[in-house]
Amino acid sequence: MTTSSRPIGERALGRGLVIAIDGPSGSGKSTVARTVAADISASYLDTGAMYRALTWSLLHRRIDVTDHARVASHARECALDIDTAPYAPRFAVGGVDVTQQIRGVDVTSAVSEVAANPEVRSVLIASQRHLIAQARESGKGMVAEGRDITTVVAPDADVRILITASAEERERRRRAEAGEASAASMARRDARDSQVNDFITPSEGVTLIDTTQMTLPEVVNAVLALIDERV
């Protein structure tokens, strides 16, 4: 047996590792992903925010999100700028910072319709894979989170995790974080998105972490331990 005095996760530095984390809203996956990315000095990618940024652009341009052909066309043309810093991820559309706007109720209510569009998914998945490949090749690595990262976007990730929590706990967290209206919209989005991706049941090779009774540091340490194990 070999031992090291370096903190768990630190051995991942500079290895270009890709960590894929999926889960429903209220599971804690975003906070965990950002914290882990910062801990191992990796980039962080919120793929759900990419769909939100595109949705904001569609609504801003008054494009009907149910017009799948027009939505797909706009997705191919839309200039999304993404900052992958873990604690300050920023999103811009055509040079306009929309980091705050994409969390609004209007976007939350419409994003599932956009995310269910197969052509839109094809465009954004290609972008996500490109960003992940860049991070891997640079040696920095990336923690990417969403709803289909472990199964579709990065099934070859070095570590694949599904983070969840009980329905009651997820509802409590959504309300505490986003308020009544946004929490209801997020719950509806989970229900609709589950028809496209199964982000409740882990696929083969994906580690399930139930955060219902866990604190944030406990979840982060569990993820770092998995990374350390693979390294």
Which residues are documented as binding site for ATP? 23-31
Cα–Cα distance, 30 to 186 (Å, whole number):
14
Cα–Cα distance, 147 to 221 (Å, whole number):
22
103 Rama class: left (phi>0) / alpha (psi -120 to 50) / beta: alpha
Binding site residue list = 23-31
How large is the angle between the packed helices 68-77 and 47-60, nearest 10 degrees?
110
Residue that has been written with the tokens 């409590």 in this structure:
172
Residue 156 in tokens? 């070859």
The two beta strands, 96-97 and 43-46, are unpaired
SS3 content of the chain, % helix, strand, coil (to 5): 50, 15, 35
What are the E-state strand segments in 48-138? Answer: 80-83, 90-93, 96-97
Cα–Cα distance, 35 to 15 (Å, whole number):
18
Cα–Cα distance, 149 to 163 (Å, whole number):
12
